[in-house]
Structure 1
Amino acid sequence: MALRIKTFTLNNKKEIISKIVREVLVLFKVEIVGRRGEADYLQLSVINHRLKDTKDGRVVIESKLMLFDREGHARLFTQRRTGALDEREGASVNRLIKLNLYHIFREELGMPQAPWGILHGVRPTKIVHRWIRGGMDEAGIIERLQEDYACSEEKAREIVPMAFRQLPFLKTSDEKTVSVYIGIPFCLTRCLYCSFPSNILPGDKKLHQFMDVLKKDMTAAKDAISHYGFHVQNIYVGGGTPTSLPDDFFAEMLEMVYNDFHEPSTVEFTVEAGRPDSITQGKIETMKRLHVTRVSVNPQTMQAKTLHRIGRQHTPEDVVKMFHALREAGIPHINMDLILGLPGETAEDVRDTMEKVTALGPDDITLHALALKRGSRLKLLMEEQHVELPSDEETRRMSEVAMAYVRKLGMRPYYLYRQGYMSGDLENVGCCRDGAEGMYNIQIMEEHQTIIGIGGAASTKVVDFRQKRMKSSFNAKDLVTYLRDIDMYIEKRRSLLDEVYGKS
């Protein structure tokens, strides 16, 4: 149910206040159509005031929402809430404004509950980990997520046990433990929904140029790891689709990665193989020879009609063949990624996909809710050709079906993240059997470990343990820029590492 209004006003011009208020409007599909569009109401106005703090110093926020109908008659709704003792002042103000508006829309305007309530951030488990460090138990955290963030009980009971499950993995890392990410920004084709900065695989001349630059990037990262005395816990080769490289280029790339970063103490070496049309027996043998421990196979769906629709050049049968080839090669862990909410699909399609995927017995299944980004062709097609996506309700049914199959395999969620514009207001959640947890996935999502990024569109994320902050530097998303300006990106990464670790 969308709500269309002609104009919107807010009594506070601060960027952060405008951002959090608009997050609530987007959550409830409030559309500002302007003076020329068809509208349900002439105007929506939001007024927030900070009242006198309580005696113990807690923030008090009163929020008012006014709706003016097409005859100019106003309806006024008010909510008032008090913050918690254990949250920062600014965070308390922002949370209370969102929570007040959320409850106005839910209780006064009859909007449906959002599964995650006002939890809008990418990593909701970070809040849970903060409360765990504060000594709260599982039951208390579940209750507080519902009260402070209007999170549904279902989602609270999903992420709280997950956060406790992550604790022993997070404890394996310290200030000098890092992971290495290598970005190979190429794919064989571009999927309909894709907004990632990947490039269609170029010819040999451009690939040779890329390999020369990548080698330079790797050498600089290797020198930094040696200089600061880091230990590489995890290596992750992602993209793009790294296996889209021709066999000889793939072997050269993976050998460089292994020789530069693999140590006796490295526990995880992951390669995203992605699509069956990118894999060969030669690449499988290279991965086995270089001790790759995890391979991601990403069918996204096992529906042939959908694969064709989204621009994939393989069949469900190709996925099965690829999976068996990796198993026969002795790859210890195989991940499979699926997308919920793809165009034209229903919950019954997802049921059929899960039957086929779970029959293979993967070690790890990640369920992604489709995130409709501005850079994807799907977004353009929706606007120009009215391509239909499943409703939020249908996407949530898909999630229920998929999670039931995952649990039937004995898998439990172990990492989770969210993005903007996700179908059904859902999430991306990784599930696995005990003992098959992806260490890299946990470390990067909880921002508990420094990640050194190498290659096209890669990010370096440095954890400053003293200031309890994460600082980042980014390689260019554009391939031409990355190749041209590699020295600048190497220097930015070196400078960032020195800023944090040079003082130790």
Structure 2
Amino acid sequence: MYKIILNGITNKYEYDELIKVFLKPNQYELVCDSDFVSDEQGKTGAEQDEKEFEMILVFDKNEKNVLLRKIYLSLSKLTGKTPTWGIHTGVRPLKLVGELYKKFGSMEQVTEHLKDFYLFSDEKIALLRDTYAVQQGILGESDVNAVGIYIGIPFCPTRCLYCSFTSNQVGEQLIQAYLDALHIEMEQVGKGMAEKGWIPESIYIGGGTPTTITAEQLDKLLKAVHAHFDCSKLREFTVEAGRPDTITREKLEVIKNNGVKRISINPQSMNDQTLELIGRSHNSDEILNAFDLAREVGISSINADIIAGLPDEDLGDFEKTLDAMIGLSAENITIHTLAVKRASKLIDLDSDFHYKQAQIVNQMLDLSKEKLSEHGYIPYYLYRQKHMAGSLENVGYSRPGFEGIYNIRIMEERQTIIALGAGGITKVYYPDENRLERIPNVSNYEIYVTRLNEMIKRKDDNLFRR
């Protein structure tokens, strides 16, 4: 057990995130100034018998990144670990690349700074440079009147073992009540956008699993999108059809006939035992059938999510899934590193699972990069999450020309994204100040229905009337 003291620091959160890359939570105690409370004898509430600790590490207040470097270097020496993302604990390392490029004006200087100051590995720097170049080549700066739109359908047939998203298993009546409310919010947001002269660059219908709803409901929803939003300059329209057991020919035809060209079919794994273990209510044959149906209907772009580090899977199991997605010619293949979230069932079963998976996940990510490159896929977006196996990353790969615009925009945070539905968080971008403001909807679908007018007013006050 180690004791780590941060003198002069009152908020230890970001430092704790870095320490957890090196040490499990039960291996250390972290204290800062806000943990110390004086009593009548002048002692502190955070004091403990120092004999209980194997080692005590003390760090004095400094500029945040300088202090993070000191912690990283000390713990690296202590544990022998050299995490490949260096001192960076955030979700968006590519955003850092953009900020540094704006500062230095030279990718060579950016590379040097990432390596020498942020302590990124050469491999991660190369991945960032490749991905950043792709993004700049296809997008550049967002038009001042262009926004992204996210529409959330928070329902799934079952809840997966690792899931922490808003996904509920409910009856038809409750789903319809939610959709009725969502249509009202869409109408009001559409009016606000029209008054501002805003048009969507991309529209993303996600969840949950949007194809959980009926074909009739889906058709009404997609027609409402066209009725309420000016889609004349829309560059991308995506519907997540992630669960193969929710996909039918009728729903795919509804999607195609309403102008949607991009969908997701997310197997996560092509191993039936794994699918059963993680709580998916489909098998690998249904995944193949869903792809066949989508191609027959004429869907031109399919994304497939797979997960590295699922329980009981080895490198061969992961390779089988990867080969299957390449063989199906998915236009996008997103490699997710398993993240053990606090709201998932998996963390209740094994809170240390992501620590145990670090080595095998690293091998899986290396294999995916090698194989996908060989088959013409390029990395086009990247992000990280907390509690990821090996503290690694998620990478979206694409065949050239099929890069996901919404995915890039939501990660670079340089465009307003308007989110509708339960769990949606609108992010308003102020380009002159390069900052975001968040306007959240409530996450519970039933509360969203009862407080719909409040959700609409939040957007009126903080988005359209600002």
Partner of 1:464: 430
Map residues 85-484 of structure 1 onto 2, 5 A cutoff. Answer: 93-107=63-77, 109-171=78-140, 173-200=142-169, 202-382=170-350, 391-484=357-450
Q: How far apart are 1:409 and its partner, in Å?
A: 1.4
Deviation per CA, 1:336-371: give whole Å up to 9, x if none: 001111111111111111111111111111111111
**Percent of pairs identical after alignment?**
35
Partner of 2:8: 12
CA distance in 2, matches of 1:482, 1:11: 43
Structure 1 letter corresponding to 2:94: T
CA distance in 1, matches of 2:409, 2:144: 13
CA distance in 2, matches of 1:357, 1:498: 42
Deviates further, 390-399 or 149-158: 390-399
Q: How far apart are 1:147 and its partner, in Å?
A: 0.9
Q: How far apart are 1:498 and its partner, in Å?
A: 3.5
Q: How far apart are 1:185 and its partner, in Å?
A: 0.5
Structure 2 letter corresponding to 1:228: K
Structure 1 491/471 Cα, relative in aligned 2: closer, same or farther at 3 Å? same
1:21 equivalent in alignment to 2:15: yes
SS of residue in 2 equivalent to 1:128:
helix
Partner of 1:38: none
SS of residue in 2 equivalent to 1:421:
coil
CA distance in 1, matches of 2:227, 2:204: 14
Partner of 1:62: none
CA distance in 2, matches of 1:387, 1:179: 35
List 4+ stretches of structure 1 deviating above 3 A.
30-34, 43-47, 68-78, 386-390
Deviation per CA, 1:102-127: give whole Å up to 9, x if none: 011223x1421101111111111111
Task: Identify unmatched segments of 5+ residues in structure 1.
Answer: 35-42, 48-67, 81-89
TM-score norm. by structure 1 comes to 0.84
Partner of 1:56: none
Deviation per CA, 1:416-447: give whole Å up to 9, x if none: 11110001111111111211111111111101
Q: How far apart are 1:45 and its partner, in Å?
A: 7.9
Deviation per CA, 1:201-226: give whole Å up to 9, x if none: x3232222112101110011100110
Partner of 2:40: none
Q: How far apart are 1:133 and its partner, in Å?
A: 2.0
Deviation per CA, 1:26-84: give whole Å up to 9, x if none: 110143468xxxxxxxx88889xxxxxxxxxxxxxxxxxxxx98598978798x9xxxx
CA distance in 1, matches of 2:80, 2:25: 14
Structure (1 or 2) with the greater strand fraction: 1
CA distance in 2, matches of 1:207, 1:154: 46
Structure 1 letter corresponding to 2:307: I
Q: How far apart are 1:135 and its partner, in Å?
A: 4.4
Q: How far apart are 1:142 and its partner, in Å?
A: 1.9
SS of residue in 2 equivalent to 1:10:
strand
1:497 equivalent in alignment to 2:463: yes
CA distance in 2, matches of 1:390, 1:342: 11
Deviation per CA, 1:120-152: give whole Å up to 9, x if none: 111111111112223433333222111111111
Structure 2 letter corresponding to 1:100: K
CA distance in 1, matches of 2:207, 2:354: 28
* Root-mean-square deviation over aligned CA pairs: 2.4
Structure 1 45/458 Cα, relative in aligned 2: closer, same or farther at 3 Å? closer
CA distance in 1, matches of 2:379, 2:246: 29
Q: How many residues are matched?
A: 451
CA distance in 2, matches of 1:235, 1:75: 51
TM-score norm. by structure 2 comes to 0.91
CA distance in 2, matches of 1:262, 1:125: 30
Partner of 1:31: 25
Deviation per CA, 1:4-38: give whole Å up to 9, x if none: 33x443322411xx12331232110143468xxxx
CA distance in 2, matches of 1:362, 1:75: 51
Contact between 2:21 and 2:83, CA under 8 Å: does it hold in 1? yes
Q: Which has the higher contact order (CA 8 A, sep 6+)?
A: 2
CA distance in 2, matches of 1:131, 1:274: 36
Structure 1 69/466 Cα, relative in aligned 2: closer, same or farther at 3 Å? same
SS of residue in 2 equivalent to 1:219:
helix
CA distance in 1, matches of 2:333, 2:232: 28
